């Protein structure tokens, strides 16, 4: 499998999932401004949506959308327990989390990345995110991960997007359980490996 990614973007959730699942993965960086990859390939031709992540499977098929990709990758190695079995209530709960993260948190950040967003709209986006953070903080007060005691793809996705708060100078110290979650996930060896591979963290000497 080959993951087309941009450093620290939502593609990191798929990257973390593949490493946590112990699956072989090659990665190719995409310049989102030019839509060219680091090998000079035309990313827009590969994924007409133009955004990362895109995953090229071993049969050449290209898949997109974080919420679908993390499940596809997790299901390739069920023994890693990154997603409960398909068709179970636990799996639907996981999908409930993935939908929440995608629409309420991931896309909640989007206006903040856009330099053209007026200040007023940025503040409104931050206010909405604060409501989501407060909810997540309550959940994570009672359990280490979103679905309970097991790290899943939902945690990989939540970590990836809430981690953007640091880059955007959004103070999350008012959500100590969410902050502790970020620290807990960022300390995982496979997460660190993905961060190093994307050039976001120095490899330990």
Ligand X SMILES: N[C@@H](CCC(=O)N[C@@H](CS)C(=O)NCC(=O)O)C(=O)O
- Of 190, 117, 103, the closest CA to residue 153 belongs to 190
Q: Which long-range contacts (CB under 8 A, 24 or more apart) does 26-31 make?
A: 26/1, 26/2, 27/2, 27/3, 27/197, 27/198, 28/2, 28/3, 28/4, 29/4, 29/5, 30/4, 30/5, 30/6, 31/6
Between 75 and 180, name the residue whose CB sits nearer to ligand X: 75
Residue 16 touching ligand X (CB under 6 A): no
Q: How far is the CB of 10 from ligand X (least distance, A)?
A: 3
Between 9 and 83, name the residue whose CB sits nearer to ligand X: 9
Which of 4, 29, 46, 65 contacts ligand X by CB under 6 A? 65
Structure tokens at 155: 């945690």
- In terms of DSSP bridges, do strands 26-31 and 36-37 run parallel, antiparallel, or are they unpaired? antiparallel
Strand partners, 55: 3, 63
Q: Please, which of residues 155-184 interact with ligand X by CB under 6 A? A: none
Residue count, binding to ligand X (CB under 6 A): 11
How far is 187 from 3, CA to CA, in rounded Å? 23
Between 112 and 180, name the residue whose CB sits nearer to ligand X: 112
Residue 66 touching ligand X (CB under 6 A): yes
Between 67 and 80, name the residue whose CB sits nearer to ligand X: 67
Residues 19-58 as x/- pattern, contact with ligand X by CB under 6 A: -------------x-----------------xxxx-----
List residues binding ligand X (CB under 6 A): 9-10, 32, 50-53, 64-66, 102
């Amino acid at each position: 499998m080959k993951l087309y990614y941009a450093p620290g973007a939502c593609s990191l959730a798929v990257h973390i999932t593949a490493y946590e699942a112990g699956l072989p993965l090659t990665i190719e960086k995409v310049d989102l401004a030019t839509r060219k990859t680091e090998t000079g390939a035309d990313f827009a031709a590969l994924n007409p949506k133009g955004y990362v992540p895109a995953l090229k499977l071993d049969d050449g098929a290209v898949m997109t959308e974080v919420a679908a990709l993390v499940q596809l990758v997790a299901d390739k190695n069920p023994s890693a327990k990154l997603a409960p079995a398909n068709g179970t209530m636990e799996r639907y709960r996981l999908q409930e989390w993935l939908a929440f993260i995608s629409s309420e948190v991931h896309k909640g950040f989007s206006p903040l990345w856009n330099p053209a967003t007026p200040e007023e709209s940025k503040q409104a986006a931050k206010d909405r995110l604060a409501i989501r953070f407060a909810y997540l903080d309550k959940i994570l007060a009672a359990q280490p991960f979103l679905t309970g005691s097991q790290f899943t793809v939902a945690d990989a996705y939540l970590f990836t997007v809430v981690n953007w708060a640091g880059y955007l100078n959004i103070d999350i110290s008012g959500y100590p359980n969410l902050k502790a979650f970020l620290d807990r996930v960022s300390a995982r060896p496979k997460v660190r490996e993905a961060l190093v591979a994307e050039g976001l963290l120095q490899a330990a000497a």
